[in-house]
Structure 1
């Protein structure tokens, strides 16, 4: 666990407002893309599960664990912390909860002190194993509060509660986004999520591993679309939660077949025991994103898959 807290404080200027983009886990592809025109991004990394950031990204890198307080004079705060891959967030569930709660609280306090706008990066996992399909932001979810995924699901739900408490009680400007499954170049090959798993297995010539029957569905968005969504929501005027995802829906078995055809047709697809509390359906309703901030994904899943395979 990295606990260093080195940073360079820079004052804001009207021409180049500074962003603090705080990232943990496998968010390299997101953070290196989150550089809107006219901004000077600062990234605070905890390198527990992530690849080290490239030196040529243009980001100012600060190594720090966000469960400890941090301050910089900034205009916007994008808290992306917390491993999002089940094998990673389940490895240390207490640390996951601390990151979602203490980390979010410290970033909220940073935003309040700096008079900055705060955009919580929550997750579609707050919907749990949904009984509503597709999922709208008004759906309260179906989560097991004591299951193996609870540290992440419930941690993010509490992070949303904290965010709106600061908005109500302390007049902080807040935004909340709920990203659905996201993938793209610069993912960690050992990320543990289904897209990277299938690609790396196929490249090695290993069997593609499906947990359960493979009929569970997911909706995958290409990372540049997610970044566009982050900027649109941060700059927009909607303070309600907003789903960010690609409504294209595939079963896990369909995904495995696409990767096999694209990478290595000689590999087999094999089934193993299903994971506990694995959501059976996952598809965003993005009506609010379209109507309130003018966002929708620009890239198809197949295009993103091609680019991600090229990277690996």
Structure 2
């Protein structure tokens, strides 16, 4: 049986990754510092996994420890969740990357790095973004830029290490993940709207609400991750988008659907996000994924439509209440 190490495995994406890798016959080890977790080590999802609760930089490789793959998910997350790491986040992200590269070299195993679609940066209007497209990051010194640039630099470091050392890797750029277990705490829009609607509070749309997103269900993202992680060797050392362009909507449309599906009496209001999250907050740019590469080469196909994703989040929070 093969062994996989998943960093940040108790987080939103990580918890689904544990389940999928185990279903495919892998032994799973998780390292997580419980900073952005959605489940605890005692959760039934972890029943067959080995869970190490610590910061990955505090984990020292020990004799007898061996992995056939490292899936690196550990990272600050969320448009609001990253704000508390202002001025320190780039160091966190890059230090973790060098640690993950060291591990992949030590065990002669592939490194799967889950990056972000935010590395594509700013466009004047929403376009379909391909892996090879230019990365256009504005010159402002925002926390969001610190996050985006640290992720992009991580990709560059991994790629350049692969050119001069025997490092097998995959770089994955997911677009607008959502689904059951996603928390509102990091500023994620869909669970925020759902919680507001269920509580009868105002549904707070930021700015005009015309921002464009393309939501992809977390299980579709993780299935794409697994296909990429276990692809033939000829498909390695590549960058891959994962996202469902068919689920494009504006934030206004999202708020309307949430209100309708929850039968909520909430009012939809438009607010300045800085009044909620503070002066460091910056809104994401419009982005639509072009995932034709993973679809055509590896056969990835998303299964969840926009309304199904929204209902999944609603059901999750209704069950919790």
* Alignment TM-score > 0.5, same fold: yes
Q: Give, in whole Å, the separation in 2 of the partners of 1:108 and 1:49.
A: 22
After TM superposition, give the deviation of residue 133 of structure 1 in Å: 0.7
Counterparts of 1:1-312 in structure 2, within 5 Å, are 16-23=1-8, 26-27=12-13, 29-35=15-21, 36-53=23-40, 54-57=42-45, 58-68=48-58, 70-71=60-61, 72-131=65-124, 133-145=127-139, 146-236=141-231, 237-247=235-245, 248-273=247-272, 277-312=282-317
Q: Give, in whole Å, the separation in 2 of the partners of 1:299 and 1:166.
A: 36
How far does the alpha carbon of each residue in 1:115-142 deviate from its partner, in whole angstroms, 9 at most, with x for none? 1111110000101223561111111222
After TM superposition, give the deviation of residue 161 of structure 1 in Å: 1.0
1:82 partner SS: coil
How far does the alpha carbon of each residue in 1:215-268 deviate from its partner, in whole angstroms, 9 at most, with x for none? 010011111101101110011124221100111210010001111111133111
After TM superposition, give the deviation of residue 297 of structure 1 in Å: 0.9
**Is the 2:121–2:285 contact (alpha carbons within 8 Å) kept by the matching residues of 1?**
no
**Is the 2:122–2:136 contact (alpha carbons within 8 Å) kept by the matching residues of 1?**
yes
**Is the 1:51–1:188 contact (alpha carbons within 8 Å) kept by the matching residues of 2?**
yes
For residues 182 and 29 of structure 1, do their structure 2 counterparts lie closer, same or farther at Cα, with a shift above 3 Å needed? farther
Q: Give, in whole Å, the separation in 1 of the partners of 2:138 and 2:58.
A: 29
For residues 153 and 91 of structure 1, do their structure 2 counterparts lie closer, same or farther at Cα, with a shift above 3 Å needed? same
- Which 5+ residue runs of structure 1 have no aligned equivalent? 1-15
1:295 partner SS: coil
After TM superposition, give the deviation of residue 48 of structure 1 in Å: 1.4
Q: Give, in whole Å, the separation in 1 of the partners of 2:138 and 2:94.
A: 18
Q: TM-score, normalised by structure 1?
A: 0.89
**Is the 1:286–1:296 contact (alpha carbons within 8 Å) kept by the matching residues of 2?**
no
Number of residue-to-residue matches in the alignment: 297
After TM superposition, give the deviation of residue 150 of structure 1 in Å: 1.5
Moved over 4 A (4+): 274-277
How far does the alpha carbon of each residue in 1:58-87 deviate from its partner, in whole angstroms, 9 at most, with x for none? 322111212445434100111011122011
2:170 partner SS: strand
For residues 273 and 76 of structure 1, do their structure 2 counterparts lie closer, same or farther at Cα, with a shift above 3 Å needed? same
How far does the alpha carbon of each residue in 1:76-113 deviate from its partner, in whole angstroms, 9 at most, with x for none? 11101112201111111244223310001101100110
Q: Give, in whole Å, the separation in 1 of the partners of 2:209 and 2:93.
A: 30
Q: Give, in whole Å, the separation in 2 of the partners of 1:259 and 1:232.
A: 32
Q: TM-score, normalised by structure 2?
A: 0.87
